[in-house]
Structure 1
Amino acid sequence: MDFDLTPEQAMLVETARKVGEQYGLDYWREIDAKKSYPHELWQAVCVSGIAGVAIPQEFGGSGLGMVEMALAIEALSAAGGGSTLGQLFMVNPIFGGITLSRFGSDAVKKALLPGLVDGSVTFCMALTEPDAGTNSLAVRTFATRDGSGWRLNGRKIWITSVPQATKMLVVARTKRLEEAQRKTHGISLFCIDVEREGLTHSPIEKLGTNTLPSSTVYFDNVRVEADEIIGPEDQGWSCLLETLNTERIVTTAGLVGTATLSIKLATEYAKTRKVFGEAPIGSYQSLQFPLAEAYMQAECARLMNHKAAQLCDLGRPYGSEANIAKWLAGQAAAHATDRAIQTLGGMGYSKEYHVERLWRDARLFRVAPVSEEMILNFVAQHDLGMPRSY
């Protein structure tokens, strides 16, 4: 076990830190207030080469792996963006990059991956449905055969960054659940244009992550061409699991960065703030202990996430590690952001001091992309060998 970064990894982290600081806390406060997408930051991420860190070199990427992606996201998030940075990587290098590079045809890879690397192509993924939230096997959106292609009908909800995406990864059934050999059979993945006849979307008002809009998406007889399927027809479930497990890794990295940043903001404030006498409030154990606990939680989440990422890069099973890391990171970020607000007192509730945004944004990730309860179910069943509970 070697916990030291390679020179290449250290350089990547430093590059990510510099990009993150260029678009730091004030930038994020401004675009959060405007509910505007971080176009400038994402373009800087692409120019620096970070967006393509795990994309094969033949398509313009660096040919590295999930370990390097996690390291870059941690640094970017800790520099100001918080957990929203993880979401940016989720919709682009994961939904687009990982899915297409591992399961797309050669033609699709050549057509789309270079654009993902340079930022000219952006992605979103349409998975969640109103009646099939956590239960992805119960999706009802259906692709009916139509000549060489399909016709897509259905509805999705809580889909991130649809207005900014050029391409959408759609999870749909190509075989009715009652006709399938098993529940995991009959699911297919498609990569289609967002601007397409019959595809419409409407915004969802929400608590946080204001810079990345969420939408309800409607498919009304949307045409899907034969070359837009990703992976084999009816057998997309295993491909989807790979996408979702790597999604856990980038989510965790963003949450670890959020915890790191929140603790930094709280400790810096506590070292100088004085209320009773000459001693700063940072000398009070009632403030020290919760921040120390949050730091320890975040470090454990970081290590487990790096283990998951390394196993992924080695081609070994990593689902449990990715889920455990995500659970730990959600807890750590929740604790760190809440105690940062408590440390700052009234100023913690002010937008001027940034931690309220970090708290609002991080709260989502105890529910998504997989809830804490479902992670506990997974660990109990798959790691402890207990009966399925749902």
Structure 2
Amino acid sequence: MLPRLGAADEHQEIREAVRSLCRAFPDEYFRQIDEQRAYPQAFVDALMAGGWLSAMIPEEYGGTGLGLTAASVIMEEINRSGANSAAVHGQMYNMGTLLRNGSRAQKERYLPEIAAGRLRIQSMAVTEPTSGTDTTQIRTSAVKKDGRYVVNGQKVWTSRVRHSDLMVLLARTTPLRELARKSDGMSVFIVDLRQAVGKGLTVRPIANMVNHETNELFFDNLEIPQENLIGEEGKGFRYLLDGLNAERTLIAAECIGDGYWFIERARRYASERIVFDRPIGQNQGVQFPIAEAYIELEAANLMRFQACALFDAEQPCGAQANMAKYLAAKASWEAANVCLQTHGGFGFATEYDIERKFRETRLYQVAPISTNLIFSYVAEHLLGLPRSF
């Protein structure tokens, strides 16, 4: 196991418990799941049963109330074990929007059931085909009528819908032309997928390069009860940021976990593989890139924990969340390349699991927020440069 730098790890007990659970699901399990393009249901059930996916739910609602920092450690250890947190991380970050902006009645209705594993809130529907990352241009509408909202429109890249009971939906409740600020007029809703699919909501799977369950959604006069509105109408974009900051920070932690996995595999192989009567890790051309990847990963890890600390203290953390996601995604991708290069031809063999993890960690250069959008955020909000979009 790679060394952990700095002060003693206060989350060591959590790490060891998650590692113990993950050992019951070895590489072969996830390799088979990937080959079959299946969902790791047994693994998810084990995490739910262990209470690990209710880390951000307060104890008064049946959760463990550990906060984002501990939740990020859980996600890190899942990926560090060779698994993929993409199957479950929505259960964590969707809590941000509901916990901070939901009504008391909504929390009492949903959170105990989620904490007990009887309800899954894995999905968030935001992105649309025509707007992409320009969320203020979404067209999906929710019109109030007879005490209900009627939703029409389309979403894309909406993950885990087929393995979720509840979904967080962002829709426009005021037409853009009637607003002075583009970020106003959007609202957030909880959609009960058990009642929605086939009754105004159509789900169409999107095949992709990783085993990631994601979909297109089509809304055709879907009716949502008025009590499913989170917070005030028209303020959904601001509410959504709570979930997105948590999402980006958790994704950073997953990338950290991936990076440690890649570096450990590269370190081990470089120590054991003998060519020209010496371990290949003795060659500077092999060991230096591994060392560099480790340095970059450790630096990204510091920004991850800073973002977590601010989020848990309910302080502004948008800049830190964005930078943590950027640094960690970049570090994990560089570690992936180093690991593959260290293994040479064997890195392409499925039995080594490197090509699977290589594909999985590549996603985070693009989503859930692209690298270029993070650059524009930092340029405008931290450096005071003119807005680029």
Fold similarity call, TM over 0.5: yes
Q: Alpha-carbon deviation of 1:106?
A: 1.9
Q: What amino acid maps onto 2:102 in structure 1?
A: G
Residue 169 of structure 1 is matched in structure 2 by: 168
Matched position secondary structure for 1:121:
coil
Matched position secondary structure for 2:161:
coil
> Of residues 118, 121, 139 in structure 1, which corresponds to 2:116?
118
Structure 2 Cα separation of the partners of residues 304 and 70 of structure 1: 12
> Of residues 9, 16, 21 in structure 2, which corresponds to 1:5?
9
- CA deviations 1:156-215 (Å, max 9, x no partner) are 00111111111111100000111123111100001112231110111111111x0x3110
Q: Is the 8 A contact 1:42 1:119 kept in 2?
A: no
Q: Is the 8 A contact 1:176 1:186 kept in 2?
A: yes
Matched position secondary structure for 1:133:
coil
Residue 378 of structure 1 is matched in structure 2 by: 377
Corresponding pairs, count: 380
> Equivalent residues in 2 for 1:272-311 (5 A)?
272-276=272-276, 278-311=277-310
Q: Alpha-carbon deviation of 1:17?
A: 1.5
Q: Alpha-carbon deviation of 1:245?
A: 0.7
Q: Alpha-carbon deviation of 1:53?
A: 1.2
Matched, 1:348 2:347: yes
Structure 1 Cα separation of the partners of residues 278 and 116 of structure 2: 51
List alignment gaps of at least 5 residues for structure 1: none
Residue 61 of structure 1 is matched in structure 2 by: 63
Q: Percent identity?
A: 36
Q: Is the 8 A contact 1:151 1:224 kept in 2?
A: yes
Q: Is the 8 A contact 2:100 2:242 kept in 1?
A: no
Bigger Cα displacement from structure 2, 177-186 vs 362-371: 177-186
> Of residues 65, 72, 76 in structure 2, which corresponds to 1:74?
76
Matched position secondary structure for 1:62:
coil
TM-score by length of 2: 0.95
Structure 2 Cα separation of the partners of residues 366 and 50 of structure 1: 27
Q: Is the 8 A contact 2:44 2:88 kept in 1?
A: no
> Equivalent residues in 2 for 1:309-320 (5 A)?
309-320=308-319
Residue 3 of structure 2 is matched in structure 1 by: none
Q: What amino acid maps onto 2:236 in structure 1?
A: G
Residue 254 of structure 1 is matched in structure 2 by: 254
Structure 2 Cα separation of the partners of residues 324 and 262 of structure 1: 21
Q: What amino acid maps onto 2:159 in structure 1?
A: T
Residue 39 of structure 2 is matched in structure 1 by: 37
Q: What amino acid maps onto 1:119 in structure 2?
A: G
Q: Alpha-carbon deviation of 1:352?
A: 0.4
Q: Alpha-carbon deviation of 1:61?
A: 0.8
Structure 2 Cα separation of the partners of residues 104 and 363 of structure 1: 34
Q: What amino acid maps onto 1:4 in structure 2?
A: A
Bigger Cα displacement from structure 2, 256-265 vs 39-48: 39-48
Q: Alpha-carbon deviation of 1:3?
A: 4.0
Q: Is the 8 A contact 1:141 1:152 kept in 2?
A: yes
Q: What amino acid maps onto 2:231 in structure 1?
A: G
- CA deviations 1:324-349 (Å, max 9, x no partner) are 11111111111111111111111100
Structure 1 Cα separation of the partners of residues 113 and 263 of structure 2: 36
Matched position secondary structure for 1:218:
strand
Structure 2 Cα separation of the partners of residues 163 and 89 of structure 1: 13
List alignment gaps of at least 5 residues for structure 2: 1-5
Matched position secondary structure for 1:151:
strand
- CA deviations 1:233-273 (Å, max 9, x no partner) are 11111110111011001100100000100111111111111
Matched position secondary structure for 2:163:
coil
> Equivalent residues in 2 for 1:148-159 (5 A)?
148-159=147-158
> Of residues 99, 102, 119 in structure 2, which corresponds to 1:101?
99
Bigger Cα displacement from structure 2, 113-122 vs 308-317: 113-122
Q: Alpha-carbon deviation of 1:46?
A: 1.7
Matched position secondary structure for 1:80:
coil
Structure 1 Cα separation of the partners of residues 40 and 110 of structure 2: 21
Q: Alpha-carbon deviation of 1:316?
A: 1.1
Q: What amino acid maps onto 1:130 in structure 2?
A: P
- CA deviations 1:290-310 (Å, max 9, x no partner) are 111111111111110000000
- CA deviations 1:353-381 (Å, max 9, x no partner) are 00101110111111101001110111111
Bigger Cα displacement from structure 2, 213-222 vs 67-76: 67-76
